[in-house]
Amino acid sequence: MKRFWLVLLALGMLFAFSSSVFAADVKFTGSFYAAGMYQDKTSLIKDSEYDTSTAFYYQRLRVGMYFVVTPALSLVTRFDAMERAWGAPRTAADTVGGVVNDVDSAGTVAENENIAFDWAYIQYVSPIGMFQVGYQQDGAWGTVFGDNSVPLAKIQYVMRKGPITGIAYMGKIYEGNRTAKNAGILATDVDADKYMLGVVYAASKDLQAGLLFVHIRDTSDKAAVVLGPAPFTYLNTKKIYTLQPYFKAKFGPVALEGELQYFWGDIKATDTAGGAKVKLDMLSVYLDAVADLGMFYAGGTFAYLSGDKDATLDGKLKGGLNTGGIDWNPTLILFNYDKRYWAGSLPGYNAIDVPVGTDATAVMSNAWFFQGRAGVRPVPALNIMASLTYAFADKKADFSAIAAIPAHIPMTKQAKDDYGWELDVTATYAITNNLSYMLGVGYLWTGDYYKGSEFFANGNKLQDDYLVINKLTLTF
């Protein structure tokens, strides 16, 4: 009998200590979209072998799950599923050169075509601030300009005091030390780490400003190279620093926002004597204004991203790391990451090695960007907007100092700096509070930047392109 009561008491104590977990509340948020795209040309090169159109449907499901153990303690997760073009071949899990990572996911492209978890972290709101530990969102700060919302494994601390919010974290971008699943490593400290400090001041709901400092130390290219008595040396060690101030303000019907990003640091070729060192010096500026007059609204956007004309030939790198980001898609064709992800690149001539590439649909880099837009809401559920955009390169590539291969073709300068003009018209209709439908048309007048080097420019012919997209989006 005593044994029976002892077991019953033990079970009761187990239940008492575990009851908060058993009573966890589960909350779901997320989105699903299904879209169709028609692109008239898949290359900007006139009469090329890739001069074809493309049309297809695609979709993605994204679900966030919040396991609320107590009001102060939660487990937060998020996954993407069925992110694929309808009926298209599945991506191989491994390819030549290794696993294909999905840039905005913790999983690979192949995993996202089935299911891939991006977030899994503990969130604890303590009396001295909030702690978040695990894989969570990173790369979004201030305005949408320059944002790359990607999962990152990190330990983050957030403190709020009145109108001031402070943020600090340490993140792991890459781990190359020896582990059970990476036993072939012969070096140590093969890492890429990220450290961040930020502060936001919200004077009111219509006025806020913030400042972010980021440091990245990247030794992921460390390799076993025997140089005399030293068994190891660093190859391509990177030390990157960034300052990112921003502001958002609203004065009556006019909303203003802006952000500045400055990058500095160095890339050191080796730790040995005489190892080359490249200095980083990059600047990005973004300004946006919109006046909302009820049924009608109008606004404009300016962006500048410094470029580099000769990569690292002069010992300096003035562009490349500073981009518009994958979150910011100001047009339907030019500098649109979503279009690139689903439809692929839209290349021009690649006669020389242009630092920012020759893809009109890459994220924005090395650019002066100007856009005007206007919209109308004839009924509350319908939003029709038109925008006109012009962009040109900050720096034209110049590799004239490099000996060409073959020798009879000289390495010369980029012919032009004009990316082109683009006109976009979109209409979005809110079917319900959670379900919307968007129809968009974009036309690109291709600029001469995509003719490549001046040596070939006269013979390189370009063509314009247009795109039609429709998208059904559900949020919950």
Separation of CA 185 from chain center: 30
Q: In the chain, what are the domain boundaries?
A: 25-475
At residue 397, the pLDDT reads: 78
User: Distance (Å, rounded) from C-alpha 102 to C-alpha 95?
Assistant: 13
User: Distance (Å, rounded) from C-alpha 186 to C-alpha 224?
Assistant: 6
Question: In the beta sheet, which residues pair with residue 248?
Answer: 208, 257
At residue 360, the pLDDT reads: 55
User: Distance (Å, rounded) from C-alpha 303 to C-alpha 281?
Assistant: 17
At residue 3, the pLDDT reads: 46
CB atoms < 10 A from the CB of 257, how many? 20
Beta strands 94-95 and 73-85, pairing class? unpaired
Question: Side chain identity at 289, as an amino acid letter?
Answer: A
- Is residue 25 within a helix (H) or strand (E), and if so which, with residue range? strand 25-39
At residue 226, the pLDDT reads: 43
CATH architecture of the domain covering 25-475:
Beta Barrel (2.40)
Task: Give just the sign of the alpha carbon dihedral 108, 42, 310, 336.
Answer: negative
CB atoms < 10 A from the CB of 412, how many? 20
- Measured CA to CA in angstroms, residue 92 lies from 85, 110, 337 at distances of 14, 6, 22
At residue 456, the pLDDT reads: 67
What lies within 8 Å, CB to CB, of 318 at 6+ separation is 281, 282, 306, 307, 308, 395
Percent of the chain with pLDDT over 70: 81
How close are the terminal C-alpha atoms of the chain, in Å?
54
**pTM for the predicted model, two decimal places:** 0.86
User: Distance (Å, rounded) from C-alpha 350 to C-alpha 163?
Assistant: 51
- Is residue 160 within a helix (H) or strand (E), and if so which, with residue range? strand 150-161
- Are 31 and 39 within 8 A, CB to CB? no
CB atoms < 10 A from the CB of 437, how many? 13
Backbone angles phi, psi at 361, to 5 degrees: -110, 15
CA nearest to 210, candidates 267, 163, 157: 163
CB atoms < 10 A from the CB of 385, how many? 18
Long-range contacts of 397-404 (CB under 8 A, 24+ apart): 397/309, 397/310, 397/352, 397/353, 397/354, 397/355, 397/453, 398/309, 398/310, 399/310, 399/313, 399/352, 399/353, 401/310, 401/313, 402/313
User: Distance (Å, rounded) from C-alpha 327 to C-alpha 145?
Assistant: 8
Question: In the beta sheet, which residues pair with residue 404?
Answer: none
User: Distance (Å, rounded) from C-alpha 119 to C-alpha 156?
Assistant: 14
Task: Please tell me the total number of residues recorded for the chain in this structure.
Answer: 476
**Token digits for 385?**
């907007």
At residue 314, the pLDDT reads: 73
At residue 388, the pLDDT reads: 98
User: Distance (Å, rounded) from C-alpha 422 to C-alpha 450?
Assistant: 15
At residue 174, the pLDDT reads: 86
At residue 102, the pLDDT reads: 82
Question: In the beta sheet, which residues pair with residue 51?
Answer: none
* Burial grade of 319 (CB within 10 A; 0-12, 13-18, 19 or more): buried
User: Distance (Å, rounded) from C-alpha 221 to C-alpha 15?
Assistant: 51
**Ranges in the chain, pLDDT < 70:** 1-23, 50, 94-100, 183-187, 222-236, 269-275, 312-313, 350-361, 399-412, 455-457
